[in-house]
Chains A and B, each alone.
Chain A
């Protein structure tokens, strides 16, 4: 069990958020006695003061920021990343939500659904926060009426559904009086669901990350006498001794020989574990590479579409040069186009030629070289990045990949790219040309699976074939080949040799390759 739940909260001073968090910390005995002393105000315990750091900040004119608080329950450690709710702090909300498993969204029972509740839900949904808990607070101000709660639950439920979120839990709460925060209380007998604490304790952890394909950005090479280990943190999936992995972008493969963790050696580890791996053969690998499961490697691309949350007071403009940092890579990139800007409150999109501070937009990015990257919805670690100003080093934006360029990008010779609906004869000519010019060329094919006959056939003449896989997001390949020489690996990795994935059906591809290699015997 690795029981740490990360929760984002958001809201302003007046919506009872401070009182709610204070109540949660206080009733789970996570307030130190010296802190409690400071909460006494006119003879009463003012729980909102536990988090009034934000208010002090505002008075001092300091950037209102994300505050972290910790609470231990009998079940787990809960980390609260707390941010202000106003539109001017959307970037702080995004920061708090980025690494959270759950978002607690506040509604005000008296005032109804306000912009900041919608905004928090939108950010949580954009950041792909797995779980949403909607807290209808201040139920004491509406006489704990079920009808008020029901209406808000329905209305907000419709908004969440428009964001694609249909499994939120909604809880009626009075943070001031304490009902349904930690203790159920007697005022809302009509409510049968969990209290906020019960809901937080019941959330399953890292469900997605554990079921995804294995990914591990290489952080560090541990070198000791006669020892070379690859260190990193498993970002998704799991890895076991004996598993076959690939190094991206080189495509080199090896089997895991040993796994070392902070708790000793292991046969198998899950996502979030810091490990040092050794392999059954020497691997040319360094920081910036990505280790992946050999069946489902991510795509290499130098062009992508992404949603950005813009952090800087200077707006983004098309053509802007940036430094892109992802889990596996850091490299120069250029924002080629702004597709649209999203209105956070209405969810309407509009065309724009700039992206201002705190705005969300969809952009097209072109990178200096191809890197392994995935869609954010497929993998949070390999699908996220930050943009940095290459001159003054400010963090400019948070980025979430929404789409990859479907082609392997070329640009460097030798390169073969066929666009559009090319037919079988075109493909055959390309293959012939490749074989004529290169002793071991590489091909990129598409298919739901790679037929063994093709696999064997191309392997026997040493052709490198990368099969693209229709997969959620169509963003992964299966690499069929081994024993490539270094030059080929580089060429494949950099996408210098590529054939459009729409070229032929898998069946046709199999036929063509087999025909070509076997002198037509398969006809």
Chain B
């Protein structure tokens, strides 16, 4: 924040005399004002000969402080913003049944009804459309995952996908994490169906344009080859991938993105709708405390089976570790707040992945632990069912639902 000196030009009341008075009480910047007692300062000003001007100066700084926080809103303002800007982005996972369109209830508090419907659905029993299916969102019949999420990923929210990293035994590099597939398919869907821009932060070279193109082929149901080609080309150009290998690079990309979004806020053609970080845990675990070697080990475990030159990677990370030891959690929480700020202010849906690592007693747990839990709005557990291409998703956390609900979906193999 600004030193008082720099404010002098804009606010003449903050003159050198006022600055000297503040300096004599250890206040040099607006930031210092925040952690000092202004009532005490005002009382001290009383004893000065020029108390009127000093008090005026304090009031002026208070006015500046008043602009440093987010705007005051009431419930109606918030609701209007939510209805106008915080839309759902469909994840595009078809369940395999016929794609007849139905209206699905907006938010159904009685979560059990949703669960009930899934069960009936899996029994190929479609007569459940009668009662509760009213509301504004058009979804396809088979989009079970969107149903589970009450409409898909929501703009303004940070959604976390927790999933297992591939087991240590397989040396097969072709195996792709279920969460990554999930991200790629969602990106394809948003680019094609919503015609929105997608920013994809790739930490382990897992971004695959071929896969995205494949998903797009599946999604778009156009029959004319030329039109299809054109649309796919446009959709592909809407997905921007950045390779980032450490948390600082991620901060760089995100800050740049924030800058771009802010300067192009009124231009409708540059409308980023989805931001994906795959995976955020491999960026954060190395800087997260614990013993240094443990951090590197976890990092190796998480990223080790990806196509990454990890000798240079380890050297790089080790040097960072030394520098930022102990501030890992601060970086993690700051990253979380930056993502949430981007999501809220620019109406993006943000999706991050968090790989599970082996915990004590053989049980696996998410690489980012207790402190991270309070960061995302929605947490989903993604796991690949053994011996099949289907995946199951269950809700660990959702703002308007009890956790523990689950659904299955199929990721098409390629």
Partners in one complex: no
Taking Cβ atoms with an 8 Å cutoff, the residues of B that contact A are: none
